[in-house]
Amino acid sequence: MVCRSAPMGAILYMLQDHDDKPAHECGVFGIVATDADVARLTFFGLYALQHRGQESAGIAVANGRTIRSHKAMGLVSQVFNEENLRPLTGHLAIGHTRYSTTGSSRLENAQPFVVESVLGPLAVGHNGNLTNAATLRQELLTRGVGLTGSSDSEVITQMLAGGEGRTWEEKFKVFMVRAQGAYCLTVLTRDALFAVRDPLGLHPMCLGRLGERGWVVASESCALGTIGASFEREIEPGEILMITTEGPRTIAHMPAHKPAECLFEYIYFARPDSLLHGKALHAVRVAQGRELAREAPAEADVVIPVPDSATPAAIGYAQASGLPYSEGLIKNRYIGRTFIQPDDQLRQVGIALKFNALTDNLAGKRVVMIDDSIVRGNTSGPIVRLLREAGASEVHVRVSSPPIRHPCFLGVDMATYPELIAHRLTIPQICEHLGADSLAYLSLEGLINASRHGDDTFCRGCFTGKYPVDIELVNKEIFELR
């Protein structure tokens, strides 16, 4: 089947902000170490987690008595300097990098949240999304707590600060009874670091060892290597791990009867050099590409990725198909946020600020273009057109994940129902929309097999609409309507 070319009105202007990808939802980090500059180590840990959130960054440090913190809008490297790092002395620290959707992008939402509570000071960093946040929020208001922002993370912080329980251990257990949804927390008290992962284990968190000097927790293992820590194990779904200078101790273990890890950590989120269940995600994505080649072969001359995230899958596809791997698109390395908009003439000529095509590698060739996912479908069409203009005789789009037909209610900023192209259109319709010669997605089975063979502990919500938890109706309606 040959799809027709993309409609002329297609928006060809692409900046990083408009990546057609689901969005990360924060990175967390925590450390307990004696004889070490814990704030500096946290800085470098956050540096390695920068891909999980670029809006704001913060570090809080405890010294046995008080908690001091610094946070601001911007990249980790912009937020911190020697001057503001210097006062952050102690032997326990947590750090946070935040991603945020437009609108709630304000300093008061930057994390960690630091509050004084009846048990002393408390600092909280959170990655995830509570599905019953509205209920919990209303409970806090009814209990007489004034809330300053609109984030789940403030709700969590006030629940811990004021929830039932005479000790932190009790408070964390009570919290886990009440909270539903996705949460990886690093929490600092005066003298302990708590790492908490939701019972479903939706997002990753792992434990590392800093030689004899201490212990580290992080959203991804890549942050361990960066500071010279060794990977110890993953924090278990439902685990409350408490780390003091005495070392780590599991104080509760409340897993769901079936975990439900987010498949998008395997497809796109986590850095390719991070490990999940003992395998580097680069290798997982190469395997996804291999599986895709088996499921959806193409008669073609060359395999190219949409850089950078689809590169491993394209390498896998090339290996399994026997087709040569090449680069067909060059990404502008210095692309950054700009508020300068192209004018109409620029839009018409179809400027491509983000990618340029490599004519020499494409001209006269039948091209397999590998992408890892398509969400709204608004950038793939222009890329297909770019390849054709560079002389590609055919463009076969292969996607190393299934069609995304449902939003995520568990902490990933995916899109709403009306925005999701695979919710609105059939695969042939999408192919036509993109102007591709053929289009195929990796099957859900293929994805799961490539990611972790035969495993049944993944959340498939965005592909199937069946979520591992009840979603509060209010949220769902909002997503359907807007």
Nearer to a second copy, 2 or 72 (CB): 72
Instruction: Choose, by CB under 8 A, the member of 2, 330, 474, 478 that binds a second copy.
Output: 330
Under rule CB under 8 A, residue 350 binds a second copy: yes
**CA R_g for the chain:** 23
Is 462 annotated as contributing to ligand binding? yes
343 binds a second copy (CB under 8 A): yes
Minimum distance from residue 27 beta carbon to a second copy (Å): 11
Of 102 and 341, the one with the shorter C-beta distance to a second copy is: 341
| β-bridge partners, 478 | none
Residue numbers 461-480 binding a second copy by CB under 8 A: none
Residue 262 annotated as part of some ligand binding site: yes
Q: Which is nearer to a second copy, 361 or 438 (CB)?
A: 361
Q: Quick check: 212 binds a second copy (CB under 8 A)?
A: no
Which listed range, 152-160, 195-203, 235-243, 261-269, lies at the site for a second copy (CB under 8 A)? Answer: 152-160
Site string for a second copy, 273-302 (x = CB under 8 A): x-----xx-xx--x----------------
Q: Which of 5, 50, 105, 244 binds a second copy (CB under 8 A)?
A: 50
Smallest gap from residue 356 Cβ to a second copy (A): 4
By CB under 8 A, residue 445 contacts a second copy? no
**Other residues' Cβ atoms within 10 Å of the Cβ of residue 56:** 25
| Helices 311-321 and 281-295, axial angle in degrees (round to 10) | 50
Is residue 372 annotated as involved in ligand binding? yes
Q: Of residues 1-40, which lie at the interface with a second copy (CB under 8 A)? A: 36-37, 40
Contacting residues for 395 by C-beta, under 8 A, at least 6 apart: 367, 369, 384, 387, 388, 435, 436, 437
Q: Is 198 annotated as a binding residue?
A: no
Contacts of 226 by beta carbon, 8 Å cutoff, 6+ apart: 44, 45, 47, 48
The answer to whether the beta carbons of residues 395 and 384 sit under 8 Å apart is yes
> Which residues ranging from 379 to 408 are in contact with a second copy (CB under 8 A)?
none
Binding mask 215-254 for a second copy (x = CB under 8 A): -------x--xxxx--------------------------
Residue 5's contacts (CB-CB under 8 Å, 6 or more residues apart) are: 385, 388, 435
Q: Which residues contact 144 (CB under 8 A, 6 or more apart)?
A: none
| Stretch in the footprint of a second copy (CB under 8 A) among 60-68, 75-83, 251-259, 426-434 | 75-83
Contact 437, 3 (CB under 8 A): yes
Residue 400 marked as a ligand binder = no
User: From the candidates 26, 184, 206, 431, which is the catalytic residue?
Assistant: 26
- Residue 163 touches a second copy, criterion: CB under 8 A: yes
CB of 271 to a second copy, least distance (A): 6
Among 356, 418, 426, 455, binds a second copy (CB under 8 A): 356
Distance CA 274, CA 270 (A): 7
How far, in Å, are 26, 127, 215, 251 from residue 154 at the CA level?
A: 15, 12, 26, 24
Query: What are the structure tokens assigned to 429, written together?
Result: 């319709």
* Structure tokens, 139: 């409970």
The residues facing 123 across adjacent strands are 114, 188
**Distance of closest approach, residue 282 Cβ to a second copy, in angstroms:** 5
56, 100, 153, 361: which one binds a second copy (CB under 8 A): 361
Place of tokens 């960066």: 226
d(CA 197, CA 195): 7
| H or E element in which residue 208 lies | strand 206-210
Could you confirm whether 26 is annotated as catalytic?
Answer: yes
Q: 408 a known binding residue?
A: yes
**Any idea which residues carry the catalytic annotation?**
26
Binding site, residues?
262, 309, 371-372, 408, 459, 462
